[in-house]
Structure formats: structure tokens, C-alpha cells
Amino acid sequence: MAEVLSKPRTSVEKYRLKKLIEELERKTGRGTELISLYIPPGRPISDVIAALREEHGTAANIKSKQTRKNVQDALESIMQRLKYFKKAPETGLIVFCGAIPRAGPGTEKIECYMIVPPEPVSFYLYRCDSKFYLEPLKEMIREKETYGIIVIDRNEATVALLKGKNIEIVKTLTSGIPGKHEKGGQSQRRFARIIEQLAHEFYKRVGEHANKAFLEFGENLKGVIIGGPGPTKEDFAKGDYLDYRLKRKVLGLVDIGYTGEEGVFELMWKAQDLISESRYAEERRLMQKFLYLLAKNPEMVTYGINEVLQALKHGAAGLILISEEIGKAYVIARCKACKLKIEKIVDEKVIAREEPLKCPKCGGILEIVEAKTLVDYIAEKAEKTGAKVEVLSTATVEGNQLLNVFGGLAAILRFKMSLR
């Protein structure tokens, strides 16, 4: 059965996909013979196979005998694997396949990777090159959190979206509210009422545009930020102009000097703290929970690679926090001389550089039989005992502490264990 990397949902699955992309980036073919195939969702696989059969025919014209064979072998391998599908999955399917050299010429082996991406593939693409074409997939996994931005004063309002680092202006509206008039008595009061009515209508229009633009992002909208030079932003935020689901997401009101597009940029700079706080709030919350217990109830936590692995083994780990920068791998290795078999946690670099591991018994060279990232190893163990695993970035102070103070691995326990 073809092995397929399913659509990533958890932090562990996202980490796995990231790692696989890094690995694929390092692979190079001997010639123009690595195939990248992007299939949009719902596309009948019979159509795709027909197209690949045609490519197989075209490949017969390739001059280099070795390249021709490698391309045709890869195509056959893909067609073989695609037979398990009727149509492309919910977000489509991405296939990387080709002959990867092991050492010198003639040592190539066909490798095939099938990935259900986190976001829908929007185009059909077949490419044959000396490298895999990874950019569209990399773009999908890039953090693209979206924030709603409203810059408002009495005269003008701009609704915008902040996506990753890009600003998209949705709409700029003007109020048409006349300036202050020097009139007295009765007519001034009437005038003030009209102005209030006009302002209300203006806020309503701004709210409608913001609701329409922001709500379609659902859970992916991380927050709303409202800015402006005067008190108008408070009036707008307090009133019932924004949908209640958006009101809950307002991260803050920010004083700025400008309106319009200039105001949007000013707000983006001034609101950096609000934005980064919300982006990493979940990671910080997890780590703070650990730190709190460490201070109040230290028997309920543990940290360090050996300690957490022990806790896992005893079924005591409830929540495991692991740094995505931990850079460790789990290997099973066998001694070529005395056949001793060992399990070991090593630096990821050791595997990448294929540095020889020495046998603790006879000093002979250990051959790596099996290797996986420490994250994968822990995720597998955790699944068996029902522990939850969260992979944390180093973008926050807390994430840095996890890596540098606690060895990149910490756990909150289900029951007390005296491990240290």
C-alpha cells in the first residue's frame, strides 16, 4: 500500500511535514529526473494517470539512457501508487518521486513521497527537474496568520487585513460628516443630533465591511485591532457595529496619528506586541502551566530527555512539551563486529553526516538499523499511553527556556513520580 502523509492537524504532524520538506530539499537527481506532481482536490485519478502515461511516452525521447530509465521508472512508480485512489483527497495530493543517488553512479534508488497538503492545491502541475519543486508546498506551511485591522476617525475609516507580513486594504470609507459649525441655541442642538445620526450610520457601514471581510476567515482570524487618532475608535468598539464573534477577538485599541493607508501601516508597527502575543499565546500558556507546577508542585513535572522518557515509559506523562529545535534523533544500531544491538538518543547531525557510532562493548562500528526524530519517537510512545504532545517554537521567551533551560523536553505528569 502506498504510504501517504495525511493532512497535518496537530503540532507534531506539522513538525513532521516541515522535517520532510527539509529532507526533500537536500535531495538532488543525477540528471533532470526528479518528478514533482501537484494534483488539485477532487481531480479524477484516472485523468492524472492518463497524463502520466503520456509523459512516459514523451520520456522515451530522452537521450541519456540512464536518465530515460530513471524518469520512466519514477513515472511507473507514481502510477502504481496512485491506483489506490479514485480521486484526489480533500486538499489534493502532492507527489515527489525520483531516482536518488546513494553514492556514485548507478546507485540511484527510486524514492516516492505522497503528501496530502494542509491547504488545497490550486493548480495541476507536472515538473521534471534535478530538484523537487517544493515552493508551493512551503508556501502552504508558512505561518500565515490573519488579523483584521480597522483604522477609524470621524471622517474616514479603512478596513484592512494583515496576512503574515502583507497588508491587504479591503475598503476605505468616508463619513461625509460636516465639520463643526458656529451656530447657537436650538439649531445647534438639532445639528448635533444630525451629526450623531450620521456618525452612527458611518460606523454601521464600517462594521458591515469589516464583518464581511473578517468573518470568512473563521478560526484562522487571530485577532482584530482597532486604531485611530481620536476617541472615535472607542465609540466604534463600544457600539454594536462589529459582529459579536469579532468583538471577542479585539486584541486592543491603539492610538495612532494617521488615518487611511498610512494609518494602517502605522498601526501595524505599533501593534506588533499585540500581534506577537496572540500568535504565540498558546505556546506561552502551555509553558507557563509547566513553570507554575514546577514552582508549586514540583513532583507533578519533570524535564530533560532521560527523565521525560522514563515518565513516558511508566505511563506518568500527561502532557509533553518538546522544542522544535531539540535536534535529537532516536536510533537503533547494531555492531558490525560483536552484533550488539543498542537504542540510543543521538544528535540529528550525527545521522545527517553519517558519523560512525562506536560500540560500547568492543569499540567496533555501529550500523544504524532504524532512525527517527526524537519528536516522532516520543509521539509514537505517547500515542500508546494517551499522553498529549505539543511541539513548541523558540519564538517566545518561554519557548527559549524550554530549549535552553530544560533541555528541550518537559512533561506535566498524571501522577507523582520521584524521578529526581
Phi, psi of 79, deg, nearest 5: -60, -40
**Residue from 50, 352, 362, 397 that binds Zn ion (CB under 5 A)?**
362
**Residue from 242, 300, 359, 409 that binds Zn ion (CB under 5 A)?**
359
How many residues contact Zn ion, by CB under 5 A?
A: 8
Q: Which is nearer to Zn ion, 110 or 340 (CB)?
A: 340
The number of CA neighbours under 13 Å toward the Cβ of 344 is 20
**Per CB under 5 A, which region of 2-10, 220-228, 272-280, 356-364 contacts Zn ion?**
356-364
- Work out how close the CB of 331 gets to Zn ion at its nearest, in angstroms, rounded to a whole number: 15
- Work out how close the CB of 302 gets to Zn ion at its nearest, in angstroms, rounded to a whole number: 33
Do the beta carbons of residue 373 and residue 322 sit within 8 Å? Answer: no
- Work out how close the CB of 68 gets to Zn ion at its nearest, in angstroms, rounded to a whole number: 45
Q: Which is nearer to Zn ion, 273 or 343 (CB)?
A: 343
**Per CB under 5 A, which region of 152-160, 333-341, 387-395, 406-414 contacts Zn ion?**
333-341
Residue 340, interface with Zn ion (CB under 5 A)? yes
- Work out how close the CB of 362 gets to Zn ion at its nearest, in angstroms, rounded to a whole number: 3
**Residue from 349, 358, 361, 416 that binds Zn ion (CB under 5 A)?**
361
- Work out how close the CB of 343 gets to Zn ion at its nearest, in angstroms, rounded to a whole number: 15
Q: Residue 273: beta bridge partners? A: none
**Residue from 194, 337, 369, 397 that binds Zn ion (CB under 5 A)?**
337
The CA-based dihedral angle spanning residues 56, 61, 62, 64, taken in that order and rounded to the nearest 10 degrees: 120
Coil, strand, or helix at residue 216? coil
Cell numbers that stand for 315 in this block: 505511563
- Work out how close the CB of 360 gets to Zn ion at its nearest, in angstroms, rounded to a whole number: 8
In whole angstroms, give the CA distance from residue 341 to residue 355: 18
Residue 358, interface with Zn ion (CB under 5 A)? no
Closest listed residue to residue 225, CA positions, set 280, 264, 193: 264
In whole angstroms, give the CA distance from residue 271 to residue 397: 19
- Check the CA dihedral 82-87-89-94 and report its sign: positive
Do the beta carbons of residue 377 and residue 320 sit within 8 Å? Answer: no
Cell numbers that stand for 260 in this block: 487611511
Q: Which is nearer to Zn ion, 39 or 335 (CB)?
A: 335
Q: Which is nearer to Zn ion, 322 or 335 (CB)?
A: 335
Do the beta carbons of residue 337 and residue 408 sit within 8 Å? Answer: no
Q: Which is nearer to Zn ion, 69 or 334 (CB)?
A: 334
Binding positions for Zn ion, rule: CB under 5 A? 335, 337-338, 340, 359, 361-362, 364
